[in-house]
Structure 1
Amino acid sequence: MLTKFETKSARVKGISFHAKRPWVLASLHNGVIQLWDYRMCTLLEKFDEHDGPVRGICFHIQQPLFVSGGDDYKIKVWNYKQRRCLFTLLGHLDYIRTTFFHHEYPWILSASDDQTIRIWNWQSRQCISVLTGHNHYVMCAQFHPTEDLLVSASLDQSVRVWDFSGLRKKSVAPGPTGLADHLRNPQTTDLFGQADAVVKHVLEGHDRGVNWASFHPSLPLIVSAADDRQVKLWRMNDAKAWEVDTCRGHYNNVSCALFHARHELILSNSEDKFIRVWDMTKRTCLQSFRREHERYWVLSAHPTLNLFAAGHDAGMILFKLQRERPAYAVHNNMLFYIKDRQLRKLDMQLNKDAPVMQIKGGGRHQPYSMSLNHAEYCILVSWRVGETCTYELYQGPRETSEATTEPLRGQATSAVWVARNRFAALEKNNQLIIKNLKNEVSKKIATPTCEEIMYAGTGMLLLREPDCVQLLDVQQKRTIASVKVAKCRYAIWNSDMSLVALLGKHTVTICTKKLEQLCSVTEGARVKSGAFDDSTPQPVFIYTTANHIKYCCKDGDYGIIRTLDVPVYVVKVLASEGAARVVCLDREARPKVLTIDPTEYSIGDSTVRPSAAHGSKRQACYPEVALHFVKEPRTRLSLALQCGNIEVALEAAKSIDE
């Protein structure tokens, strides 16, 4: 599990993701509703009008609205743009457990301890249907994603599937099957009225009260979670519904369960402090994640992203089950990347993409990283699945031979090429092993505190230590340089290997090849990726955060080039007429090309392009404006004299001191 964001608060009873913005709502046991930006890790707003715990919360998929339901028996509809409650819906006689918007109709679905489910029209602000049938608290009720169905879970130990097509025909504006049908067949009118919603299936199988039930996004499946510590999988058709299997493993009441939208997985959490991930086909527990003290109460999945949130006694966590960063390697203008278990090759100049070979290992998991030996056309692919770390060595297809069908395998936390016929593998016991192309050990080096190895050219390796990065000469078995950078995740070199950018979770540190630090930048958002723009006389590092493409110059100047809607991973910066093309991969491992304007970093730091910077400012005839962007003393002196700013000119002259 990869924790992306964590909050500390009172007990979280309800969670809802915004469909498009990086926002999440958390409803708390103390009556507060929090609106968080999980990308920037900031609390945007608090809404505090409920009296007592708020258990139900849901964003509208299109409108700037959300709905909440609490222990004060009230359903409130809020406008987050206006930052206020628009109106309150009254009618329930006991605690409200869940509230959900319909994806298409102007409806709200609520479940309550008064043993009823209610459907409300939020436009007319009226209750349009009351569904009775459960004989204990109704803990959860949710709409089907596409059909006129809803599912409810109750402490009466049953799960019920309801058909509300009658309500739709009665309430929603007449369409081809509404008024037209009635006019054609007036004799079919039911004298006693048509039921708004009828029970289609009653699912009985749990031995204790059922806390949650939800539909699969696309398959005719239901998952339920109950106080009998079981997660049950149900299948349904038009005629009947039946139990498929049971997932056992929780040690206490199961609070919530849902389907993974993209994979055949079920997620559940419980008062036993565990989140468990189940294989939907084998019904086995694949992974489990435990908190030390806090019980879990609710789970929520993002409608489009591979992102989940879980609410517990002391706040909530947002997490992913696995990394979405694609594995790739670059050589000159060729990008090698893995997509859908296939190694592909993209010519970035000609924009030609072609498959190379099939990748076999890793099961359902994505590769963690890859390292390319372009001289021998060999590829190292690394996987990290739980505590198991493995690598596979593939021989790519050549003119004289085909690709290897069966790779050579080994166990190591990471594997990187150090020569055309040698690669290094870091074992779990912190021992560095040098192997040949036949996967045979040729040398061993003790690295007691090394956590990760990274490429540093022929015969060299970068070793990530807990608080620094060291440059190791593999032949001499000794460290020749070191720089104090904590928890470095990636090392990215420029084309001539004279500069390296060391990326941390929130930091970018640029060093020389001897690890002499030139500058360091700290970001509020996570740093995702980067590449050097070598088209300028002095290379500029172009990097991405979760929501921006940025630049960083050697003297420490940095800034925003453009914003991003979704995170991307920069692999190469190509120069073109009057612009720069940033080649990147998205989270689906699809290559994209973004065009950026290099003017910002070209004039932002005159050490990058002194003549171009100076010339463009002089031609623009705005030296006083350019003066605000330039840091280099000589250029500042020239610009200050042009615009008559004697104080700045004197300051620049003193700093030059010639």
Structure 2
Amino acid sequence: MLLDINRKLFARSDRVKSVDYHPTEPWLLAGLYNGSVHLYNHETGALIKTFEVAEVPVRCVRFIARKQWFVAGSDDFQLRAFNYNTHEKVTAFEAHPDYIRCLNVHPTASLVITGSDDMTIKAWDWEKGWKCIQTYEGHTHYIMNIAFNPKDSNTFASACLDRTVKVWSIGSGQANFTLDAHDKGVNYVEYYHGGDKPYMVTTGDDRTVKVWDYHSKSCIQTLESHTSNVSFAIFHPSLPIIVSGSEDGTVKIWHSGTYRLENTLNYALERAWCVAYRKDANDIAVGFDDGLVSIQLGREEPSFSMDTSGKLVYARNTEILSANLQAAQDDDTPDGQRLSLAVRELGSTEVFPSTIQHSPNGRFVTVCGDGEYIIYTALAWRNKAFGNGTAFAWAGDSNTYAVLEGKSKVKLFKNFKEKGGAGLKGAGGWTVDGLHGGTLLGARGTGFVVFWDWDSGEVVRRVDVEAKDVFWSGSGTLVAVVANDSFYILKFDRDAYTAAIDSGADIGDEGVEEAFELIAEISESVRTAKWVGDCFVYTNAANRLNYLVGDQTHNVNLFDTPMYLLGYIPAHNRVYLADKNVNIYGYALSLSMIEYQTAILRGDLQAASEILPNVPVEQRNKVARFLEAQDMKELALEVSTDPDHRFDLAIQLDDLETALGIARATPDPESEVKWKSVGDRALAVWRFDLARECFEKASDLSALLLLHLATGDREGLSTLAKSAAAKGQNNVAFASLLQLGDAEACVDLLVKTERAPEAALFARTYAPSQVPKAVEAWRGDLKAKNRTRIATAIANPAENPEMFEEGWEETLAKEAETKASIASSEPQVNGASEEEEEEEEEEEFTDAE
């Protein structure tokens, strides 16, 4: 089995005795022999947090993600729990009278199971105050490991140095049965995750790994290769492999079907002690004497292929399953929800599939993996052809294909027989990493992609780019070359290539430069992609589903998890995607809309108008946004069905009649903003009557004030003053009355709005006859506020007309000074003199004046 093995995290530290992955966050927990617990980001490799847990070795750690905790057992007999977000210690207590060597967390219940050197296992319930609800006795040596059965979480197995493995039920202190597993102490036990085999794997100090059938209690296989004590072995949850690690410093990968040793890894970190795996990915982590390593085994992307009719074929290990998406045509499942499809077993394959691909006509399916390829018939799943090959590519006619043997030998086949002749020009001189089929045969290597003509074997063009994939459109004129952080859309000009060949020019290894033209360069990382006509549909590294028309990208949807593009079925107007477990999801994407956008970009407005009636009504607004982006606002206004968008377009185009119609049809109070916008545009084009109507509808009194002032409309100002006063917009009302010269009305408005001091001062300047009324209102307001002294001190011209002759300010000041001197002799009241109160009132009066 050929698996890509990529090291994601390499961290040196003190001896690592336990590791665990967080189920949702990119975190890796490591318990160290020095008593610390480290929290790493396994994607970035950064050490996020360090917890000083104990002064003795921490031998076991596990996340309890549903509580934001991790739990740790150590050599000071203590079981501790910490909140990994706040660093708060949740609990710490003595769980055993000896070293705590292993623990595990129940997948659903509030239980932690611990195993100790005291030869007992205990179950602790954190919802009951960490009470010990059960003790399991029967082992006669140190308990090394505990594993829950994934098919029955009420049972678990324990590995012990007494050479046995025992299986327990949570509610019983006595073992269900015992396996005499190894000739020496047993270090590890783990269950098989699949539902088809009742298997478990064990490791021991006898340097072996054993696979057991726990129903028949018999040993199925013994794996021998390690040269020292074997610390652990696990069944990988998604790949058909067993991973084991030993004190000999190596990690070995075994095929779980054939039990053949596939690979041996050595990271020079001394003895391997512990392992963890991610259930939702292919990652595993291993702890050593000198640090830890997190590695990715194989690709995250599932192996699948869907033909143009919707027939899906995908692999689950070496089993081949199929489903027909044509059945989803009448499925009314909303976008983004999982489709319910009937899945059937199609057969199996002799190799572990790294890629699966249909032939262009859908009659054949090629499985490539383990350095071999096998071509099967799509319906009966019969072996049609096979051979050695690390990569495979179909031509456009389904009768021709290419196979890469090794790194440089490319063979061409026609009708399942190898083609004779000179072969591909220059193929032997390049180191090739992969082949890509389509209109031309593409091969990618380090820093280049080269395209050959299928028939002649001549080099069409060599493109210098570090590519990871190549996608040809169905028309054969467009090709997407995908790099790590960007992709390029090229247009193939066969006529230019043919003309160069006919002219007898020596094209060499670089090909014909004019054969390809760069159409677009997009800075996005493509994960999976398909062509729909001349539209490039793809998922990117940000978990978005996008499509490209011309040189513009458009978003269809955003996902929470990575999704992989299966293909597009025009009859459904839907694009289909799958997650890692090949659960299928559909999203609406109208082919007619894409064709319309393409016609617009070509400048073919007549063809676009013919296509438009076929665009679904629910997609018209997206088309209108596209047209607006092309600065075709008039056409966007015709296409759009969204009133708000149509209104915005009409305003931009100064189409006031259309904007007015939309504003009149908009219910209050939503219409006020629209009326205001129309009014502003009406002013800009000197349509004052329309602007006045709009501002009145929008209740924009400030704008009406400016408009009436600019046009000298006294009647309008009078009406505005009444309307503003009724609506409580007193500033506008006052300004209107002041511009009309109605000082008496201004005084009345100030008095009415409880601004009597301003009314008095205003009246003295502009309407002397109104001063007594304003002053009386002022006095009444002060008396209501218990400011009697100030109210008495205010002079009313109706009462003291002499004070309002020349020099009345000095007279008033002297009178106030006299009153202050009289008040100074009065006794204090409640801790403050009346003199102080009088001074305070006098200051307030002065301020008011």
The two structures have a TM-score, normalised by structure 1, of 0.73
Matched with 2:174 is 198
The secondary structure found in structure 2 opposite 1:619 is helix
Q: Compare relative contact order (CA 8 Å, sep 6+) and give the higher one, 1 or 2.
A: 1
Letter in 1 for 2:350: G
Structure 2 unaligned spans of 5+: 332-340, 493-515, 590-617, 653-679, 682-849
Q: Which runs of 5+ in 1 are unaligned?
A: 167-196, 398-402, 626-641, 644-658
Contact 1:326–1:587 (Cα < 8 Å) also in 2? no
Residue 152 of structure 2 is aligned to residue 152 of structure 1: no
Distance 1:96 1:427 in 2: 53
Secondary structure of residue in 2 paired with 1:48: strand
Letter in 1 for 2:432: E
Shift of 1:225: 1.0
**Which of the residues 451, 455, 467 maps onto 1:471?**
451
> 1:561-593: CA deviations, max 9, x gaps?
54324432113356899xx74312333445431
Counterpart in the other structure of 1:169:
none
Alignment-derived partner of residue 570 in structure 1: 565
* Gap change, CA 1:265 and 1:575, over 3 Å in 2: closer
Q: 1:225 to 1:336 in 2, by over 3 A?
A: closer
Q: Aligned to 1:117, what secondary structure does the other structure show?
A: strand
Out of 231, 255, 259, the position equivalent to 2:209 is 231
Matches for 1:65-80 after TM superposition, within 5 Å: 65-80=69-84
Q: Residue 404 and residue 571 in structure 1: after superposition, are their counterparts in 2 closer, same or farther (change >3 A)?
A: closer
> For 1:461-500, what aligned pairs fall within 5 Å after superposition?
461-486=441-466, 488-500=467-479
The amino acid across from 2:320 in the alignment is R
Provide the C-alpha distance between the structure 1 equivalents of 2:535 and 2:575, rounded to a whole number of angstroms.
15
Question: Quick check: 1:254 aligned with 2:249?
Answer: no
Offset of residue 205 of structure 1: 4.4
What is aligned with 1:112?
A: 116
Q: Does 1:7 align with 2:9?
A: yes
1:439 maps to a residue whose letter is K
Alignment pair present for 1:138 and 2:119:
no
- The answer (yes or no) to whether the contact 2:323–2:342 under 8 Å persists in 1 is yes
CA deviation profile, 1:71-112 (whole Å, cap 9, x unmatched): 454322233454543222333455433221123432211223
Q: Equivalent residues in 2 for 1:69-468 (5 A)?
A: 69-80=73-84, 82=86, 84-123=88-127, 124-131=129-136, 133-145=138-150, 146=152, 148-166=154-172, 197-217=173-193, 221-236=199-214, 241=217, 243-261=219-237, 266-278=242-254, 284-294=259-269, 295-303=271-279, 308-312=284-288, 313-320=290-297, 324-331=301-308, 334=310, 337-338=313-314, 340-341=319-320, 346-347=325-326, 350=329, 361-363=349-351, 365-366=352-353, 368-374=355-361, 378-379=363-364, 381-385=366-370, 388-392=371-375, 394=376, 405-420=382-397, 421-428=399-406, 430-443=408-421, 444-445=423-424, 446-447=426-427, 448-455=429-436, 457-458=438-439, 460-468=440-448
Alignment of 1:536-575 (within 5 A): 539=535, 541-545=537-541, 547-550=543-546, 555=551, 562-573=557-568
Task: Give secondary structure in 1 for the equivalent of 2:115.
Answer: strand
Q: Relative to structure 1, is the Cα distance of residues 75 and 509 closer, same or farther in structure 2, using a 3 angstrom cutoff?
A: farther
Indicate if the aligned counterparts of 2:400 and 2:412 stay in contact, CA closer than 8 A: yes
Q: Is the 8 A contact 2:347 2:381 kept in 1?
A: no
What CA distance in whole angstroms lies between the structure 1 residues aligned with 2:587 and 2:168? 48
- Count of equivalent residues: 570
Report the alpha carbon displacement of residue 411 of structure 1 after superposing the two structures with TM: 2.0
Contact 2:9 2:45 (C-alpha < 8 Å) held by counterparts: no
Pair 1:126–1:457, CA change in 2 (3 A): closer
* CA distance in 1: counterparts of 2:557 and 2:235, whole angstroms: 36
CA contact (8 A) 2:255 2:262 kept: no
What SS does the aligned partner of 1:621 have?
helix
Q: Check if 1:58 corresponds to 2:62.
A: yes
**Cα distance in 2 between the residues matched to 1:624 and 1:255:** 74
Residue equivalent to 2:530: 531
Is 2:527–2:538's contact at 8 Å kept on the other side of the alignment? no
Over residues 480-525 of structure 1, what are the superposed CA-to-partner deviations in whole Å (9 max), with x where a residue is unaligned? 3333332x332223443443333345544444442637324255xx
1:221-248 CA-to-partner distances (Å, cap 9, x unmatched) read 44221121111234446xx955554222
Quick one: percent identity of the two aligned structures?
22
Residue in structure 1 matching 2:523, options 521, 530, 533: 521
Cα deviation 1:368-387 (Å, max 9, x = unaligned): 1324132xx543513211xx
Shift of 1:437: 0.4
Counterpart position of 1:611 = 632
- Shift of the 462–266 alpha-carbon distance from structure 1 to 2, 3 Å rule, reads closer
CA–CA distance in structure 2, aligned partners of residues 268 and 531 of structure 1: 39
Structure having the larger proportion of residues in helix: 2
CA distance in 2, matches of 1:348, 1:498: 32
Q: Deviations over 1:383-423 (max 9, x none)?
A: 211xx22242x4567xxxxx794412222222223352432
Q: Given residue 382 of structure 1, which amino acid in structure 2 is its aligned partner?
A: V
Secondary structure, aligned partner of 1:463: strand
